Structure 1
């Protein structure tokens, strides 16, 4: 095959140069109808598109902060690690928290004993108070002591729950599955909790993604009106339709651009927060000539297709536009109704064979 392309290279260059000055170069003479797979190029209605750069963002993205004063004991994961939901991302020392929890438990025991005594004393006085065996002052005092003991017990239990929560804060867990985007602390570093909570770990979810585009104000109305966009992947070989297109109702006063948000539904392997992508927005309707990407011949910056006219095959230079799935738009060099070979390699082999026959 390399020899085939080497033989046709001078012919290819001559054909492309000739095509620049006219509609079609002189076709190669053949004696039989080309047995090549072909298609008729037809103009069809399609969306007029404009392509802009966008940035992939995570819908769920957060910076986890410390909720207690402690020292970093372990960091099980590092930047770029993918973690499941609930995974321990930071582990702190918990000596102070455990001590506070034990002290709170002891305070509960003491407060409970005081409450039991106060409750028993109140019940005893409450039973004989209606008969007039105790004064109103003694009864009121017993009631107040019972209520105070109950309040002290409630306060001790609240303090114990707070201490238990502080102990739970010594392990920072992932709120959802995602990738570690940044680490703000190191092992052994002392951190502070609220009100000046220190940043610990940056986490972004890979499940729900969106794309942010800065679009010129000249196309903002068209994008808003049509509400359709595609993410162009693999150099145009694949496209991913946005589930929703939102144009923000205000422009950046410095750049005069509108922020456009594209929501993506489902999982999208190969897309990661922070990467740039090409986004094709529908901005109108137009008639387009589309040919399969597989039918296009590429030599450096020159592009062409093999045109079949009766029993003649010739290589014609074309100017192309946007890629749409497995097809590419032809802007110049080809007209609707013409036949093209869908397999350029087969066309090359057939032309080589015809030239060999003519040379005999």
Structure 2
């Protein structure tokens, strides 16, 4: 009987001891991220292209039918190179007619000169009349004026004939033809567009609301769409004052800080806009926990492999992220499993977690 009582007493004592020492909390695996303060704000990314800063559209200075085109779109041309010609037949006929008029008037002028000399000689010998000399001098002046006018007409006809050839006045690249061979064009009508390849710029279309509120310190990063590693920065040179009616965008022209060789005319580019802001912390939405009306995150103590709650203030909310204050750059914040954590709990840090 005494032995039975001792066994019961021992069992009760062992049961009491087991209640006083609860099992340790399980070590929970967690994902975390290292907090990094953001000092810039991304305003968007837009597609564009590399264009020449200076373009010119040329046309013939006379009317006529285009007889030939000497270069194609994309061709590089030198100063003075022939681009296109008009049918010169009518202009050549005008030149021949002017040259005929000049020959006729020149003969009259030579005859008036000879007559004026004869009348002057007769008058000097006292056998000529003053009236006859005056008539000869007047006729000479009249024919001289006609002669000068005929020479000017010939020069004008020669210039008109030369205008039947369209030449470039600077080195350029042909970007567009606006008329075809055989087409009749008028004087001054746009025929071909040339771009100077020595000075290039980036061209993009920005949404009107963004264009109207661009920060003063906005930074443009320009990169090739095919080779993103080829990039440079740019500054805003020109912003069109009015938005395009159908797209509600405003064209922006950017001056490149430098021009990589891969940035050829027409190269497709992507332009990222950013601006400096007060440093802020951005966290995924699932890293925050609401407890008793307060928002907190769990900070990982990497040395002890434990977690502790830390209050934060939410400054703004996005679709999947929040901007907060109350944490510092370099701290590790749990991003998954926050609802099953307790202060001081041991955790197992996932080595594949983003850092």
TM-score bracket for this pair, using the shorter chain length: 0.5 to 0.7
2 CA distance for matches of 1:177 and 1:226? 36
Shift of 1:336: 4.6
Distance 1:109 1:62, change over 3 A: same
Shift of 1:151: 1.9
Name stretches of at least 5 consecutive residues in structure 2 with no aligned partner. 1-27, 282-301, 304-321, 332-350
Under a length normalisation based on structure 2, what TM-score does the superposition of the two structures give? 0.56
2 CA distance for matches of 1:41 and 1:178? 52
Counting only pairs closer than 5 Å after superposition, residues 252-331 of structure 1 correspond to structure 2 as: 257-264=249-256, 269-273=261-265, 276-287=268-279
Shift of 1:90: 1.6
Name stretches of at least 5 consecutive residues in structure 1 with no aligned partner. 1-17, 25-39, 290-308, 311-330, 339-350, 352-360
Distance 1:141 1:85, change over 3 A: same
**Secondary structure of residue in 1 paired with 2:238:** strand
**Secondary structure of residue in 1 paired with 2:73:** coil
RMSD over aligned Cα atoms: 4.4
Show the counterpart of 2:217. Answer: 226
Residue correspondences, number: 264
Show the counterpart of 1:33. Answer: none
Q: Which moved more, 1:68-77 or 1:110-119?
A: 68-77
2 CA distance for matches of 1:144 and 1:183? 55
Distance 1:232 1:122, change over 3 A: same
Structure (1 or 2) with the larger CA radius of gyration: 2
**Secondary structure of residue in 1 paired with 2:32:** coil
Distance 1:98 1:122, change over 3 A: same
Show the counterpart of 2:197. Answer: 206
Q: Give per-residue Cα distances to partners, 1:12-37, cap 9 Å, x unaligned.
A: xxxxxx99x7315xxxxxxxxxxxxx
Q: Which moved more, 1:103-112 or 1:162-171?
A: 103-112
Aligned match for 1:176, one of 170, 174, 187: 170
Show the counterpart of 2:32. Answer: 23
Counting only pairs closer than 5 Å after superposition, residues 121-136 of structure 1 correspond to structure 2 as: 121-122=115-116, 128=123, 134-135=129-130
**Secondary structure of residue in 1 paired with 2:221:** strand
2 CA distance for matches of 1:190 and 1:254? 32
Show the counterpart of 1:81. Answer: 75
User: Is residue 2:134 matched to residue 1:155?
Assistant: no
Show the counterpart of 1:191. Answer: 184
Distance 1:167 1:266, change over 3 A: farther
Q: Give per-residue Cα distances to partners, 1:321-351, cap 9 Å, x unaligned.
A: xxxxxxxxxx99xx8559xxxxxxxxxxxx9
**Secondary structure of residue in 2 paired with 1:263:** strand
Q: Which has the higher helix share?
A: 1
1 CA distance for matches of 2:108 and 2:155? 20
2 CA distance for matches of 1:277 and 1:64? 28
Shift of 1:78: 2.2
